Chain A
Amino acid sequence: MTQPINQPVTPAIQQLQMQGIVKRFPGVLAVNQVDFEVRAGEIHALLGENGAGKSTLMKMLYGLYQPDAGRILLNGAPVNIRSPHDAIQQGIGMIHQHFMLVPSLTAAENVALGMRSSRGLVLDTDRVGAQLRELAARYNLKVDPDIPVWQLAVGEQQRVEILRALYRGAALLILDEPTAVLTPQEVDDLFRVLRQMTADGHALIFISHKLHEVLAISQRVTVLRDGQKVATIPTAGATRLKLAEMMVGRPVVLEYERQPVQRGAARLSLHEVSARNDRGHEGLRQVSLRLCSGEIVGVAGVSGNGQRELAQVIAGLRPITGGSIQVDGRPVTTADPAAINALGVSHIPEERMVDGVIKEFTVAENLVLQEHGHPRFTRAGLFMNFRRIGEACREAIKAYEIKTPGGDTPIKNLSGGNIQKLVLARELSRRPQVLIAAQPTRGVDIGATEYIHRRLLAERDRGTAILLISEDLDEILALSDRILVMYEGRIVGEIPREQVNIQQLGALMAGSSPARPGD
């Protein structure tokens, strides 16, 4: 079987329409009467909060779900897409948020896998490799097809995914939050590739909730909210504020008013702290930092550069292999989580569903996760005092605007934003001296994000020392008084708020020293 890959691609999709699409899940109307259209040569952004129905809509286009009503028209003719295989046959490709690559295989092998080979059971890796090189050259997608995927950086893996889709003849490409794992420079590279593809006549659907990226790359934007389409508008003329309002359904604030920083005494200090990561490799290398009362210190970096380990060593959840940690001048290097807690350190963990809450427990039970043994919540030092816990829970639900049927509901039934509000309520109710906030708004909708940000700023003004670890640069920039950049387990730079420069920040995150601009 020869692929028409050697000729310049002439995408066969001029127009794709989805009309009156409806998708129900048990008890939920996930997508309700949505119309959507994308044409050759355009990038159409699909914008919406978590749970707005973006992914569900696109999974129907890619054949992963079947719509309950509505139809899909390809170049004006109705098509029935029953599986991803059908979708690929029709020229529709999808780049998922989590890459679907076999780490131990090379890029060429990954692409050849699942294709019919001219040699029966043996993969056509050399031919595929050669064709991939051609494709990579045309779109300026720098990838060596012969290196095992696990050795590639995240951005490179994404390029392999795109190459694979192109190789399979995708004329329409769905990109599901493609920038979530990239550094600013990699985002720029990706955008160049996407523009080249539209110039070649590809149709692209760009799923995102990052407003500035949508504004930068797309020609049209469709906004979904609660499973329904709000509107499709041309990107030219749209503003961040307008898009955010459409997404949330009410006016939102993107910039916060902030008090001037009132830096107080040092609350937390790390001195040359090293620790292993889960694989047993060096995850943290001689990290030193000082966190003072009344300031928010942001830790920026691409995922997996030691941020997770940093939060865990401070919270006492990961043993350190060198260095020392002090809270309020007291050494806590070998203290356990309960002891560190007792010194006034609160921790909003990165993986809230694994570390931060117990899914099967109720909202109320989760609210007292650390304080379940505190005299306030117990009787005779033996029994849980569920009356008191219930009272505290009702207060927290009210004060933190947590949407739940009640304190007795299993927490797994709550949305991500509401679970995070509960974690926040729990961690702030202890009036911490130090707050470690790891990815506090990941997977949280705009409304809840705004709420959490305001709370963090209020906490800072109250005098709490806050370490904000986030992969969301916008969040870091919006909240931090100082920014530390982590790369390969080290802190490679510190930038005060007043001197922030995105280019410099991006360079640090990518591991290149800003001192050598030639890199």
Chain B
Amino acid sequence: MTSQPHRLAWATALLYRAQGILPLAIALLLALIVASALLLALNASPIEAYSSMLRGAFGTENATAETLVKAIPILFVAIGICIAFRGGVTNIGGEGQMIAGAVAGITVTLALAQAPGIVIIPAAIVAAFVVGALYGGIAGFLKAYFNVNEILSTIMLNQVAVQLMNFLLNGPLLDPAEAGANHIPKTARIAEAAELPRLSFVLPEAVAGIFGTADLFGRTRLHYGLVLAVLLAALTYILLWRTIIGYRIRAVGESERAARYAGIHVKRYMVLSMMLAGGFAGLAGIVQVLGLQYRLQTDGSPAGFTGSAGFNGIVAALFGGLNPLGAVPAAIFFGGLLVGAQKMQRDLEVSASLITAINGLIVVFVVSSQIFTRRITRRQQAALRERPPIPEEASA
């Protein structure tokens, strides 16, 4: 008796998923078509361009590794964005929170330089999470208690964080070896013990032939940040859909009024969602440092350190349906886009701004497809509401 409706619910859920992917695919296709026009205008063959992009992203062992390396910070940010958006707060401050986390993490790492890795790494990660959370919490607090629009405040706090980083990297945190008039703003290198280990997979002989190597990713920059990120994506999924805190976060996000009626402290949970989002962005920052760059350095621009992962993470989260598990493939997709674009730029000798434009097009089309999907759902619901008692018939 109960299994029948259950199976039906599963089928419906699957259908909804399929409906969600179709507009995404169309959006991607449209973006590629418009980008083709741009490429043709520059006398470049779109087919060559895209195949070069694909090879650049996944064509070799190293390309794939680089794609994953790029995906790591995007995924951390995206996990946090899933929490924030589900909690009804629009966090555009991933960049700033990443920086805040990275600065805190590197400070701890450098201070503990003599300690073993097992101490430094967790301490740095915790520090980054906490400071990222506090930094995100500012915007959450202002929204919850003073009704300050969080989109504006997080964007402004991004600027504050960049300037603070520039100041610290030129002063208190500057690498002693760099002191001088024409120094590059960067910290000292972290101790080797503090480096996140490289990640590789030892393959059994049967499979090794296919990949052409027995130690997959053995000679690449791929690091354990990927494992941490995927693990946290799964834990965040559990947090959102299996715990009391997750229930409350989602309740506040879906309906503040109903959440209040339910006795939930709406303001507190708003701040909490924002803090968790900031914390995850902070992790993105410190993992970049410990896993890849081994120091914090910048060219002074906002994206100099973050590589815009704070923004790309938002898009990846939306792309992944605001579900941390969906964010995993979405982040890898965007990582591939960034890495593949570099190869395409080299192969076709087109201007770098074209690559940025193509990335932008994909983002615009994908985001508008989300709005489009939402509008379709809303229209379907409105049509259904004309005659409410359908579910009874469906179940009968």
Q: How many residues of B contact A (CB 8 A)?
A: 37
Chain A, residues 32-63, CB within 8 Å of chain B (1/0): the string is 00000000000000000011010110000000
B261 touches A355 (CB 8 A): yes
Chain A, residues 4-48, CB within 8 Å of chain B (1/0): the string is 000000000000000000000111101000000000000000000
Chain B, residues 363-396, CB within 8 Å of chain A (1/0): the string is 0000000000000000011011011111110110
- Asked if B244 CB lies within 8 Å of chain A CBs, one says yes
- Asked if A373 CB lies within 8 Å of chain B CBs, one says yes
- Asked if A194 CB lies within 8 Å of chain B CBs, one says no
Name the one of B258, B265, B387 contacting A28, with C-beta atoms under 8 angstroms.
B387
B376–chain A nearest beta-carbon distance, Å:
11
B395 touches A404 (CB 8 A): yes
* Closest Cβ neighbor of B246 among chain A residues: A384
Chain A, residues 442-457, CB within 8 Å of chain B (1/0): the string is 0001000000000000
Q: Apart from A369-B262, A383-B242, A403-B391, what are 11 other A-B pairs with CB-CB below 8 Å?
A: A51-B387, A51-B388, A354-B257, A370-B261, A372-B262, A382-B245, A394-B2, A403-B395, A408-B9, A414-B391, A415-B388
- Asked if A210 CB lies within 8 Å of chain B CBs, one says no
Chain B, residues 1-24, CB within 8 Å of chain A (1/0): the string is 010011011000000000000000
Most buried by A among B2, B5, B245, B391: B391
- Asked if B260 CB lies within 8 Å of chain A CBs, one says yes
- Asked if B263 CB lies within 8 Å of chain A CBs, one says yes
- Per the bound structure, the CA–CA distance linking A409 and B392 in Å amounts to 12
From known contacts A30-B387, A341-B263, A408-B6, infer whether A415 and B242 are also in contact, taking CB-CB under 8 Å. Answer: no
- Asked if B114 CB lies within 8 Å of chain A CBs, one says no
B388 touches A416 (CB 8 A): yes
Residues on the A chain within 8 Å of B387, using CB:
25, 28, 30, 51, 53, 56, 227
- Asked if B255 CB lies within 8 Å of chain A CBs, one says yes
B258 touches A373 (CB 8 A): no
B244 touches A373 (CB 8 A): yes
- Asked if A134 CB lies within 8 Å of chain B CBs, one says no
B247 touches A384 (CB 8 A): yes
A-B contact pairs, 19 of them (CB 8 A): A25-B383, A25-B386, A27-B390, A28-B387, A51-B389, A317-B261, A354-B257, A358-B251, A358-B255, A361-B254, A369-B251, A369-B261, A372-B247, A372-B248, A383-B244, A405-B8, A406-B5, A414-B391, A418-B391
B243 touches A403 (CB 8 A): no
Q: Interface majority SS on B: helix, strand, loop or mixed?
A: helix
* Closest Cβ neighbor of A56 among chain B residues: B386
Residues on the A chain within 8 Å of B264, using CB:
338
A336 touches B251 (CB 8 A): no
From known contacts A359-B254, A415-B391, infer whether A30 and B263 are also in contact, taking CB-CB under 8 Å. Answer: no
- Asked if A66 CB lies within 8 Å of chain B CBs, one says no
- Per the bound structure, the CA–CA distance linking A81 and B232 in Å amounts to 59
Residues on the B chain within 8 Å of A338, using CB:
263-264
* Closest Cβ neighbor of B247 among chain A residues: A372
From known contacts A341-B263, A405-B394, infer whether A30 and B242 are also in contact, taking CB-CB under 8 Å. Answer: no
- Per the bound structure, the CA–CA distance linking A489 and B383 in Å amounts to 37
B263–chain A nearest beta-carbon distance, Å:
3
- Per the bound structure, the CA–CA distance linking A56 and B383 in Å amounts to 11
* Closest Cβ neighbor of B383 among chain A residues: A25
4 shortest A-B CB distances, which residue pairs? A338-B263, A415-B388, A406-B5, A403-B392
Residues on the A chain within 8 Å of B390, using CB:
27-28, 413, 415
Chain A, residues 257-290, CB within 8 Å of chain B (1/0): the string is 0000000000000000000000000000000000
**Which B237-294 residues sit within 8 Å CB-CB of chain A?**
242-245, 247-248, 250-251, 254-255, 257-265
A415 touches B258 (CB 8 A): no
B245–chain A nearest beta-carbon distance, Å:
8
Q: How many residues of A contact B (CB 8 A)?
A: 54
- Per the bound structure, the CA–CA distance linking A414 and B254 in Å amounts to 18
Residues on the A chain within 8 Å of B245, using CB:
382
- Asked if A347 CB lies within 8 Å of chain B CBs, one says yes
B389 touches A354 (CB 8 A): no
* Closest Cβ neighbor of A55 among chain B residues: B386
- Per the bound structure, the CA–CA distance linking A378 and B2 in Å amounts to 23
Chain A, residues 353-375, CB within 8 Å of chain B (1/0): the string is 01111111100010001101100
- Asked if A93 CB lies within 8 Å of chain B CBs, one says no
Residues on the A chain within 8 Å of B247, using CB:
365, 372, 384
B244 touches A382 (CB 8 A): yes
B56–chain A nearest beta-carbon distance, Å:
40
B389 touches A415 (CB 8 A): yes
Residues on the B chain within 8 Å of A341, using CB:
263
- Per the bound structure, the CA–CA distance linking A349 and B258 in Å amounts to 10
- Asked if A497 CB lies within 8 Å of chain B CBs, one says no
- Asked if A412 CB lies within 8 Å of chain B CBs, one says yes
Residues on the B chain within 8 Å of A201, using CB:
none
- Per the bound structure, the CA–CA distance linking A239 and B2 in Å amounts to 42
B311–chain A nearest beta-carbon distance, Å:
26
Chain A, residues 330-358, CB within 8 Å of chain B (1/0): the string is 00000011100100000101000011111
Name the one of A27, A53, A336, A372 contacting B384, with C-beta atoms under 8 angstroms.
A27
A405 touches B9 (CB 8 A): yes
* Closest Cβ neighbor of A336 among chain B residues: B263
A370 touches B244 (CB 8 A): no
Residues on the A chain within 8 Å of B2, using CB:
394, 406
